């Protein structure tokens, strides 16, 4: 007996976006699908990709991370090699948090030098994140755009700074991550603004702001689902791959607190906390995940089938 399954057909397709690699490296292509995630229907030419964060500046590491990535703190190039080499990260998210005035205030030229160093340490594709300080980033992005000798993605462009970030990216052939605070309409608005600047749609990723598990994950989940449904339904401004940075998972007390006896082992729990955040993002439709725990690269990649 055969049952007719009501499989939705979508008129739209997500733009395929490639994060270029250096010589000898493997570029990452995501997007290109015309169906919802995790289902054996429609076309999914590219599996979601899992990358790792490499960062400058101080970061207090929770127990689950101290033993794994702890030894590489302060050495972005070595960390980048380890992530891309041993831990299987398909791309790197290089956060220049250390340039923030409250995080040590490394100079803009230092930040640009770190970018150069990481790019020469590994051929893996790289997304470069700013420090989050508006005035510093206004100097940092142009410097990074110039310093990066191969194409990277700049993260992120938002309504306040998009002319500057996208302008720097355009001038040197980089891509951008378009950011909005958990709001589908603002996500679309950002992409329309980028399109008005003539920014090519196949060099744009959407960062919908990823809340950590237990702390706003549900809003992110629904916004990703809505962005994806809109993109597949033909709204070209939202037909972009979605990038989720899982860093907020590590802000949860549940991921880091060793003192609660009834919560189980803090290492396993922290790892699970990030993994669960990532799985929810994948179920909603995320195409790129950035994690901190090395073992989650394999865990999440295993889940991220075509």
Residues forming the site for other proteins (CB under 8 A)? 1-8, 38-40, 101-102, 133-135, 159-160, 163, 181-183, 185-186, 188-189, 192-193, 196, 213-214, 216-219, 221-222, 225-226, 229, 254, 262-265, 268-269, 272-273, 275-276, 279-280, 282-284, 299, 302-303, 305
Comparing CB distances to other proteins, the nearer of 77 and 303 is: 303
Minimum distance from CB of 17 to other proteins (Å)? Answer: 22
Q: Count of CB atoms within 10 A of residue 274's CB?
A: 28
Minimum distance from CB of 250 to other proteins (Å)? Answer: 13
Minimum distance from CB of 267 to other proteins (Å)? Answer: 8
Minimum distance from CB of 181 to other proteins (Å)? Answer: 5
Distance of CA 192 to the CA centre of its chain: 21
Comparing CB distances to other proteins, the nearer of 86 and 196 is: 196
Which residue spans within 191-240 are E strands per DSSP? 204-207
Q: What is the DSSP string of 117-183?
A: HHHHH--S-EEEE--S-HHHHHHHHHHHHHH-SS--EEEEE-TTTHHHHHHHHHHHT-EEEEE-SS-
Comparing CB distances to other proteins, the nearer of 275 and 287 is: 275
Comparing CB distances to other proteins, the nearer of 151 and 211 is: 211
Minimum distance from CB of 5 to other proteins (Å)? Answer: 5
For the chain, helix, strand, coil in percent to 5 are: 45, 15, 40
CB crowding 194-216: b at 16 or more within 10 Å, else e: beeeebeeebbbbbbbbbbbbee
Minimum distance from CB of 1 to other proteins (Å)? Answer: 5
Q: How far apart are CA 306 and CA 303, in angstroms?
A: 9
- Which residues have a Cβ under 8 Å from the Cβ of 156 and sit 6 or more positions away? 129, 130, 165, 176, 177, 178, 179, 207
Comparing CB distances to other proteins, the nearer of 14 and 124 is: 14
Q: Is the dihedral of CA 239, 10, 290, 269 positive or negative?
A: positive
Two tokens at 174?
């980089």
Minimum distance from CB of 121 to other proteins (Å)? Answer: 32
Minimum distance from CB of 28 to other proteins (Å)? Answer: 22
Comparing CB distances to other proteins, the nearer of 9 and 24 is: 9
Comparing CB distances to other proteins, the nearer of 87 and 221 is: 221
Using the 8-state DSSP alphabet, how is residue 242 labeled?
B
Give me the phi and psi of 138, to 5 degrees please: -60, -25
Q: What is the dihedral of CA 84, 56, 48, 282, to 10 degrees?
A: 140
Comparing CB distances to other proteins, the nearer of 72 and 215 is: 215
Nearest of 295, 243, 305 to residue 274 by alpha carbon:
295
């Amino acid at each position: 007996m055969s049952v007719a399954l009501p499989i939705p057909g979508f008129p739209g397709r997500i733009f395929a976006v490639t994060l270029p690699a250096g010589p000898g490296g493997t570029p990452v292509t995501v997007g290109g699908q015309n169906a919802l995630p995790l289902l054996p229907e429609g076309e999914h030419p590219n599996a979601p990709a899992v990358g790792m964060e490499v960062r400058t500046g101080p970061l207090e590491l929770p127990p689950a991370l101290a033993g794994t990535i702890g030894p590489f703190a302060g050495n972005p190039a070595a960390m980048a090699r380890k992530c891309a080499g041993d831990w299987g990260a398909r791309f790197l998210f290089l956060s220049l948090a250390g340039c923030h005035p409250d995080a040590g205030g490394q100079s803009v030229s230092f930040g640009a030098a770190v970018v150069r160093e990481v790019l020469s340490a590994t051929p893996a594709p790289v997304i470069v994140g700013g420090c989050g300080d508006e005035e510093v980033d206004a100097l940092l992005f142009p410097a990074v755009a110039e310093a990066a000798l191969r194409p990277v993605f700049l993260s992120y462009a938002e309504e306040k700074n998009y002319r500057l970030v996208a302008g720097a990216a355009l001038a040197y052939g980089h891509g951008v991550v378009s950011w909005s605070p958990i709001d589908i309409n603002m996500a679309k608005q950002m992409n329309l603004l980028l399109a008005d600047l003539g920014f090519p749609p196949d060099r744009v990723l959407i960062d919908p702001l990823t809340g950590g598990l237990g702390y706003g994950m549900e809003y992110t989940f629904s916004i990703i689902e809505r962005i994806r449904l809109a993109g597949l339904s033909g709204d070209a401004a939202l037909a972009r791959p979605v990038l989720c940075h899982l860093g907020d998972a590590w802000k949860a007390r549940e991921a880091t607190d060793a003192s609660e006896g009834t919560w189980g082992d803090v290492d396993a729990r922290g790892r699970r906390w990030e993994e669960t955040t990532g799985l929810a993002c994948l179920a909603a439709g995320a195409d790129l995940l950035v994690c901190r725990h090395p073992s989650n690269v394999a865990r999440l990649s295993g889940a991220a089938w075509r």
